[in-house]
Chain A
Amino acid sequence: MEHDPSPGPPPPHQGAGAPLTPIPWEDRQRLGFAPALLGTVKLFVSDPKDGFRRIQEQGDLASPILFAVLLGWAAVIIGQIWSFLIGSSFLFLPGLDGEAFTLLAGRGLMTFGILLLAPLFVVIGLFIGSGIFHLFLLLVGGTERSQAGFEGTLRVVAYSSVTQLAQILPIFGALFGTIWALVLFTIGLSILHRTSQGKALAAVLIPILLCCVCGSIAAVMGLGSLMMAFQSA
Chain B
Amino acid sequence: MSQTNRQFGLLWGGVAASLVVVSPLGPYFANWLPRCQFKAILGLPCPGCGTTRSALALSHFDVSAALAANPLATLAWAGLIFGGLLAGVLALADRRVPELPSRLPVSWRWTITLALAANWVYLVIHGS
Query: Is B107 engaged at the interface, CB distance under 8 Å to the other chain?
Result: no
- A113 CB, min distance to chain B CBs, angstroms: 9
Proximity string of chain A (114-155) to chain B, C-beta cutoff 8 Å, 1 when within and 0 when not: 000100100110011001001100110101101101110000
- Which chain B residues in 29-55 approach chain A with CB under 8 Å? 34-39, 41, 46-48, 51
Docked-complex contact A123 and B15, CB < 8 angstroms: yes
Determine the residue in chain B with the shortest Cβ distance to A65: B11
Query: Is B64 engaged at the interface, CB distance under 8 Å to the other chain?
Result: no
A134-B100, A139-B112 in contact; A58/B4 too (CB < 8 A)? yes
The number of chain B residues with a CB under 8 A from chain A is 35
Q: Per a CB cutoff under 8 Å, which of A65, A131, A214 touches B37?
A: A214
The number of chain A residues with a CB under 8 A from chain B is 35
Chain A contacts for B3, CB-based, 8 A: 59-60
Q: Per a CB cutoff under 8 Å, which of B8, B41, B51, B80 touches A151?
A: B8
Docked-complex contact A150 and B99, CB < 8 angstroms: yes
Chain B's interface: helix, strand, loop or mixed, by majority? helix
Q: Per a CB cutoff under 8 Å, which of B18, B35, B37, B112 touches A221?
A: B37
Chain A contacts for B51, CB-based, 8 A: 211
Q: Per a CB cutoff under 8 Å, which of B19, B37, B48, B116 touches A124?
A: B19
Determine the residue in chain A with the shortest Cβ distance to B18: A120
Chain A contacts for B18, CB-based, 8 A: 120, 123-124
New A-B pairs, 11, CB < 8 Å, besides A120-B18, A139-B104, A214-B34: A2-B106, A61-B8, A65-B11, A123-B18, A127-B15, A146-B102, A150-B100, A151-B4, A211-B46, A217-B38, A218-B37
Tell me the B residues contacting A by CB distance below 8 Å. Answer: 2-4, 7-8, 11-12, 14-15, 18-19, 22, 34-39, 41, 46-48, 51, 80, 99-104, 106, 109, 112-113, 116
